[in-house]
Structure 1
Amino acid sequence: MSSNNSSSVNITVSDRVSLPQSVLICTFVSSSLSIIGAVVIFITYCLVTVAKNQTRRLLVYLTIADLMTAVGNLVGASRYALRNETEYLISRHQMQNTCISTNAVCEVQSFVTTFSSLSSFFWTSIIMVHIMMTLITQREWSTLRNRVIYHCVSWGVPLGITFLALSYDVLGEDFFTSTGPWCWIKGCLPNVFLWMTLTGKGWEILTYILTMTFYIIMKIHMWKKRLRFRDRSHHHLREEDELYIMIFFVIIILRAAGTIRFLYASVENINNSPGTFDLVLVHIQSFGDSAQAFANCILFCFRDTAVRQDLWNRVRGIGQPIRGDAPLLANTVN
């Protein structure tokens, strides 16, 4: 049914399985909102005094990764929307036999979003570790050595994994295998789910587990402090700064649909005949996988009363910010 000669490929009605326009809209909207949200986070960090602490700095690094993901997914969705349906289906038939991808945009987009997604997982975990250690030690856990380790792990490890995938020529068109309208791992590979685990989903699930564990440890620590001192102030977190320990909820809520699709696709063939369950999940995934910067903007800019008020005062031109960095801990200084 497939051939290297495109004219001899017989495209049937059953072959014409494409994602609904609503899936593309979800990706376009969430990616655009995240780009805007990332810009707001950057502006907030530069202008708002209360936002200038080490934890907010780590959030900026996370936002850089999430911005790359949003831009990459936007490019991927645009490529998908502008594709020629017949040529796309012919390519799918040919890749099932040859597994050779020739679309440079697809491969570059896959490289960027694979790297940025992995980096986002690492930065999310490091933020939770940083807050946990700051809370337990009662001082900013931001030595030069720690900062070097943060960057080496969160940028270096993802880059190494992504280059490994590139060297094995596995990045490219996946033809709907557990993703939205963007490229990731070639869907024609016999070990596609192994590569998806190595280049994303395995680290994503590990991030869920680690960050949830850190969250539980911090909540227990804060609970014991309250019982011991009968005073909320002794756990040394501003009320708004407690939002940081909720950061793992953001990634779980936004990316859970993609993880479920991945697990479901590993046991069921949804590549060529997605059902209602998968179509519902792919809509959620197409919005969620690109929306982390937007969600973090809401949580750490607009939800934070002090940051919101300071930013609003500056917009109105009447702000009188206090000089100096604001500590994460309420009763300590950097």
Structure 2
Amino acid sequence: MYKMGNNTDPGDLIDKINMLDIVLTLAGASLSILGAFVLFFAHYIRHKSGKPTDEVRQFLIFLTVADMFNAFGLLSGAARFLNSKDSTDDKVAACHRYEELGCIAQSYITTLFGMSSFFWTTIIAFHLFWTYEDNSPSSIKKTLLYHFITWGIPFAITTAAVSKNVLGSDLSVGSGAWCWISACLPNYDRTLWMTISGKGWEILMYFSCCAFYLLIKWRKIKIRRHRRKMNIGSLSPSQTAVQSDVETKPHEDIRFLLLWLIEVVLRIFGTIRYLTAAVRRHTAKEIKNYNTVDKVLLHFQSFGDSAQALCSCLLFCIFDKEIRNLLKDNFFCNQKRSEKRPLLTRQTTVC
């Protein structure tokens, strides 16, 4: 049986999660699930209206699926915390000498779909970079590779974590009102599995998406400079069309590139908590005001980790005039039809 890491002070773990953290998690997760369904419905009516669905929009749907299931896992984790006694003296001292299937199942869901969300965000940024000047659809092999990376790798890592019995309650050291990597692991194993099963991929996503964003900006600058040097009038019509398409396309793509910035803003609080906890765990250094700052960051993490699908809905539905009008027209048209039906019935009866 694993024992709690030597640098983990049980006294710091008592009553770490309060009702505010649970409420923030429940609110963020519930709004994300609602936002995911709104985004799915918007995608449906957009397709129904005859507008083409490009590849990157399909990737957005897959990303939203991952974020929705992640939010569902966090919702169940927060609900579990309402009746849980994870932070009592007895349970901390016992270091969870019995397995809680609900905690492990929730940890499996959030770990798998959390990693999948990171991978889909990175794939979207890579795809925009790779197809910036050539918007032809990906081959079947490349599409299958995308799905293998985004679903297969997280599934393999999470299944390995279950087989190694490392999933469980981490006593909210690095997470919020939900389970993740068991606090009963030795310090090295705990940090290793936190890195492998989420935080390492998350940090890699930050830097890789930033790199793709800068590369796209660099390409855009190169194209503009090239156009200034060239005499556009001497180009053939097909070349002019390609140049114009490359010049106007980034307005659409920039919103997809903002996805990684949303991830950074929402999840940076958990990343800071993970890094500071790891430093404290392995160096035995007492960080000044650690507990106070950690609790403040925990409040932001409780909402941020569960709010990705909500922000995607805001970005691609509420703040998108085209989609907003489609949703409004669809809703109000149906409402007007339902209001007209009784009137038509009365007219028919009179006749």
Give the TM-score normalised by structure 1.
Answer: 0.84
Q: Distance in 1 between matches of 2:258 and 2:225?
A: 22
Counterpart Cα distance in 1 of 2:254 and 2:202:
23
Change (3 A) 1:89 1:67: farther
Aligned counterpart, 1:310: 326
Structure 1 residues 89, 139: closer, same or farther in 2, change over 3 A?
A: same
Aligned partner of 2:345 in structure 1 is none
Contact 1:258 1:285 in 2 (8 A): yes
CA contact (8 A) 2:74 2:306 kept: yes
CA distance in 2 between partners of 1:92 and 1:18 (Å): 12
What is the CA deviation profile of residues 117-172 of structure 1, one whole-angstrom value per residue up to 9, with x for unaligned ones? 11111111111111111213x22342211211111110000000001111110000
- Residue matched to 1:90: 90
- Given that 1:34 and 1:292 are in contact with CA atoms closer than 8 Å, whether structure 2 keeps it comes out as yes
Identity %, equivalent residues:
36
Deviation of the 1:220 alpha carbon: 1.1
Structure 1 segments, 4+ long, off by >6 Å, are 12-15
Cα distance between partner residues in 1 of 2:267 and 2:13: 29
Q: How many residues align?
A: 301
Among residues 113, 116, 120, which one is paired with 2:117 in the alignment? 120
* CA distance in structure 1 between the aligned counterparts of 2:93 and 2:102, rounded to whole angstroms: 20
Letter paired with 1:186:
S
Alpha carbons 2:115, 2:198 under 8 Å: kept = yes
Unaligned runs of 5+ in 2: 1-9, 229-242, 335-351
Find the counterpart in structure 1 of residue 346 from structure 2.
none
Counterpart for residue 280 of structure 1: 296
CA contact (8 A) 2:13 2:171 kept: no
Is the Cα–Cα contact under 8 Å of residues 135 and 235 in structure 1 kept in the other structure?
Answer: no
CA distance in 2, matches of 1:245, 1:15: 38
In 2, distance between residues paired with 1:302 and 1:152?
Answer: 31
Do residues 147 (structure 1) and 154 (structure 2) align? no
- TM-superposed deviation, 1:90: 1.9
TM-aligned CA deviation for residue 274 of structure 1: 6.2
* Corresponding position of 1:289: 305
Contact 2:86 2:92 in 1 (8 A): no
Q: Which ranges in structure 1 are unaligned for 5 or more consecutive residues?
A: 1-11, 319-334
Distance of 1:312 and 1:25 partners within structure 2: 31
Q: Distance in 1 between the 2:253 and 2:260 partners?
A: 14
Bigger shift: residues 227-236 or 194-203: 227-236
Deviates more, 1:165-174 or 1:125-134: 125-134
Instruction: Indicate if the aligned counterparts of 2:68 and 2:309 stay in contact, CA closer than 8 A.
Output: yes
CA contact (8 A) 2:132 2:246 kept: no
Q: CA deviation at 1:229?
A: 2.7
SS at match of 1:140: coil
Instruction: Establish whether residue 203 from structure 1 lines up as the match of residue 201 from structure 2.
Output: yes
How does 1:120-199 map onto structure 2 within 5 Å?
120-136=117-133, 138-190=134-186, 191-199=189-197
- What amino acid is the match of 2:145? I
Hey, which of these two has a bigger chunk of helix by percent?
Answer: 2
Which whole-Å CA distance do the structure 2 matches of 1:208 and 1:125 have between them? Answer: 9
Deviation digits for residues 46-68 of structure 1, max 9, x if unmatched?
A: 11144722111101101111011
Residue 78 of structure 1: aligned partner: 79
Compare CA radii of gyration and give the structure with the larger one. Answer: 2
Alpha-carbon distance in 2 for matches of 1:317, 1:229:
46
Q: Paired residue for 1:44?
A: 42
CA distance in 2, matches of 1:45, 1:250: 20
Taking a change above 3 Å as real, the CA distance of residues 141 and 214 of structure 1, as seen in their structure-2 partners, is farther
CA distance in 2, matches of 1:13, 1:156: 39
Q: CA deviation at 1:18?
A: 3.3
Q: Cα RMSD (Å) of the superposition?
A: 2.3
